[in-house]
Amino acid sequence: MTIHFNKTFTVQSSVEYIQDALSCQTNGDGEYTKKCSLWFEKQFKTAKALLTTSCTHALEMAACLCNISNGDEVIMPSYTFSSTANAFVGRGAKVVFVDIRPDTMNIDEDLIEAAITNKTKVLVPVHYAGVACEMTKINEIAKKHRLFVIEDAAQAVMSEYQGKACGTFGDFGAFSFHETKNYSMGEGGALLIRDLAVAENAEVIREKGTNRSRFFRGEVDKYSWIGWGSSYLPSELNAAYLWSGLEIAEQINDSRLIAWNHYYERLKGLQKRSLLELPFIPKECKHNAHMFYIKTENHDVQQKLLKYLKNSKIGAVFHYVPLHSSEAGQKFGIFHGEDRFTTKESSRLIRLPMYYGLTEMEIDYVVKTIESFFRG
Ligand SMILES: *Cc1c(COP(=O)(O)O)cnc(C)c1O
């Protein structure tokens, strides 16, 4: 038996909708893009949602909308993907990394305030594994120091904190619809915007610096170049594919949660024997089963178990090399305070196979393989 780490999402409607887009419109901002954006706005109660070519690009748009410029400082965890930092580094900002909490792997909200200087402009919480950061505290800090909050909610589509959707707490929220995320358009993302007044600027940046969106809504009688912009709108082909997933979003979410809970139940015994640690979900958080990870005793056991799983044809992987220890991270950022958990916790984490359609039988096989590893 081979169990892949991830599987490409397809249902019958994926093909039907892509074919439909082919016969109607393939360039951006057609019916499927509208359907997806409206769905986000309604489902997550946000003023505006714009489909983008990636989460990376949604973060770049957010950095631009916050007017990030040379010398600004941006606070984020080091345990994240390069895109979280790139968006700001590209505009001349310095990245200030703060340690994570060992229980959720999210930025430690209690360490943020000490990292703030008069140059700090933005806080970037990353909802790791679709489990929300402590947004009440983070928004309080942002308000007190007049900072923007940009949520990297790449992994947190359908996740909630205190009953409110991830991606809607900050000034901006960025989703990813990369192939490996819960909802896929191959490559793609979305920018959620809290303030409608800002949304117009966002549309301009997204559409090559023009006010074409206003023109199509009949708000201006011609469109022209009115500011800096790029091309951040995805093709209708990708949006059509995404719609086939969003249409059954609850079903996908439920199915992933069932798989996640099955892993948890079956691995509880090993946690009890202190052979590994399982994820922790704070009671304020409703997660989306984006990821099932385990943590081994140390890095050495992680490496051995990864090898063992690989030899058993199970697609398990480690996650981020902390950004502050990477080549670019050292050039563009600094770690504020002590690295108590970022390096240590990340070096013992293993992500297990997780995708829509993963069966209990497959999970049982993964669990049995892990059990046999620990039997030696
Ligand atoms: C996947 C991911 C991204 C990047 O998403 P893309 O859509 O591939 O650009 C950014 N941040 C985090 C935390 C991610 O998991």
**Tokens at residue 132, please?**
């929300």
| 297 contacts 275 by C-beta, under 8 angstroms | yes
Q: Measured from the CB, is residue 132 less than 6 Å from ligand 1?
A: no
Kindly tell me if the per-residue pLDDT of 376 is higher than 90.
no
Q: Measured from the CB, is residue 294 less than 6 Å from ligand 1?
A: no
Distance 153 CA to ligand 1 centre (A): 8
Q: Measured from the CB, is residue 154 less than 6 Å from ligand 1?
A: yes
Q: Measured from the CB, is residue 213 less than 6 Å from ligand 1?
A: no
Q: Measured from the CB, is residue 106 less than 6 Å from ligand 1?
A: no
DSSP 8-state symbol, 351: E
Distance 310 CA to ligand 1 centre (A): 25
Q: Give the atom of ligand 1 at the shortest distance from the alpha carbon of 58.
A: 9
Q: Give the atom of ligand 1 at the shortest distance from the alpha carbon of 176.
A: 7
Distance 343 CA to ligand 1 centre (A): 20
* Tens of pLDDT, residues 215-244: 989 999 999 999 999 999 999 999 999 999
Concatenating the DSSP letter of every residue in 23-88 gives HH--SSSSHHHHHHHHHHHHHHT-SEEEEES-HHHHHHHHHHHTT--TT-EEEEESSS-HHHHHHH
Distance 61 CA to ligand 1 centre (A): 14
Kindly tell me if the per-residue pLDDT of 92 is higher than 90.
yes
Note the Cα 281 to chain centre separation in Å: 17
Q: Is the dihedral of CA 184, 185, 186, 192 positive or negative?
A: negative
pLDDT at 305: 98
Q: Measured from the CB, is residue 80 less than 6 Å from ligand 1?
A: yes
* Tens of pLDDT, residues 245-256: 999 999 999 999
Give the mean model confidence (pLDDT) for residues 137-145: 98
Percent of the chain with pLDDT over 70: 100
Distance 272 CA to ligand 1 centre (A): 33
**Tokens at residue 328, please?**
């670019």
Q: Which residues contact 78 (CB under 8 A, 6 or more apart)?
A: 97, 98, 99, 100, 322, 323, 324, 325, 329, 333, 335, 339, 342
pLDDT at 341: 98
* Tens of pLDDT, residues 342-371: 999 999 999 999 999 999 999 999 999 999
Q: Measured from the CB, is residue 262 less than 6 Å from ligand 1?
A: no
Q: Measured from the CB, is residue 155 less than 6 Å from ligand 1?
A: yes
Confidence of residue 307 (pLDDT cuts 50, 70, 90): very high
Question: The pTM is what?
Answer: 0.97
- As a three-state string, the secondary structure of 76-89 is EECCCCHHHHHHHH
Q: Measured from the CB, is residue 86 less than 6 Å from ligand 1?
A: no
Q: What are phi and psi of 294, to 5 degrees?
A: -125, 160
* Tens of pLDDT, residues 12-50: 999 999 999 999 999 999 999 999 999 999 999 999 999
Q: Measured from the CB, is residue 287 less than 6 Å from ligand 1?
A: no
Query: Best of 53, 54, 81, 133 to mutate for ligand 1, by most ligand atoms within 8 A of CB?
Result: 81
The mean of the pLDDT values for the chain is 97
